Amino acid sequence: MENNERREQQGSLAFFTVLILIIQVLGLTAVILVAVWMGSYRGGFAWQSDPAHEFNYHPVFMVTGMIFLYSDAILTYRVFRNVKKTYLKAIHGIIQGVVLIFTGVGLKAVFDSHNLHSPPIPNLYSLHSWIGLITVILFGLQWLSGLISFVAPQLSMRARQTYMPHHVFWGLAILCLAAASAVTGMTEKALFTDFYSSFKYSSFGMETYIINFLGVTIVSLVALVVYVVSRPEYKRQPSPEEEHIQLVH
């Protein structure tokens, strides 16, 4: 019986490892596809001297930050199961900090590309920009509340434990919103490009495939992260020392 249980646990952990590897491959693929799309098909990158090409940083930084790095930050507690919780909190918070920096650069690039255009393009008119802004605001609030609840020493263990399920739910909800932002932004960009340049989205050329594979990759990656986080068997078990601290508080 005990042997069977151990075998089942090992099998489930082996499957977990495969899932994590697939997630990493999907994340890297998304970053490469978006960089190739902007770098090779949309004219490459520039900063404020060339606002049209400054825009191209927007998708690259948003996908790398809010999809790939954010997914990895969420998975920290599941992947490093035997590392001390204090270190995990630090890794989790630091990666989210990097996501915030990437998001800042990505937003600066797109706002500049509107404001420095001649004549300027209005800001925040599209559905994509509304969903995107809501996502970024929620991400910022979640980061702040996470920082306060898990780092502030004054908060009781009970208060932290009450907050925890909400933190997990919103973390995943914001990741899903980031995917919705990315796919609406990509569709919008594909159709703008179709309208304003010689590119035909319906031509089934290489750019069409890059855009569509990028979208499928992002959606699959996010679905797998939600799956891994929602499975109780992949949850990190507290060490005996951590359990003792929880009981005392």
Q: List residues near ligand HEM by CB under 6 A.
A: 58-59, 62-63, 66, 107, 110-111, 114, 123-124, 126, 128-129, 132-133, 135-136, 178, 181-182, 185-186, 188-189
How far apart are alpha carbons 100 and 134 in whole angstroms?
14
119 cis-preceded (ω within 30 degrees of 0): yes
Q: SS3 for 133?
A: helix
Cα dihedral sign, 132-134-139-144: positive
Please identify, using beta-carbon distances, which residue of 112 and 242 lies nearer to ligand HEM.
Answer: 112
Closer of 59 and 146 to ligand HEM (Cβ):
59
- Give the shortest CB-61-to-ligand HEM separation in angstroms: 9
d(CA 29, CA 23): 10
Q: Closest separation between CB of residue 182 and ligand HEM, Å?
A: 4
Distance between CA atoms of 102 and 174, rounded to whole angstroms?
16
Radius of gyration of the CA atoms of the chain, in A: 21
In whole angstroms, how close is the CB of 133 to ligand HEM at the nearest point?
4
The least CB distance from residue 100 to ligand HEM, in Å, is 12
- Measured from the CB atom, is 83 or 116 closer to ligand HEM? 116
Q: Which is nearer to ligand HEM, 56 or 234 (CB)?
A: 56
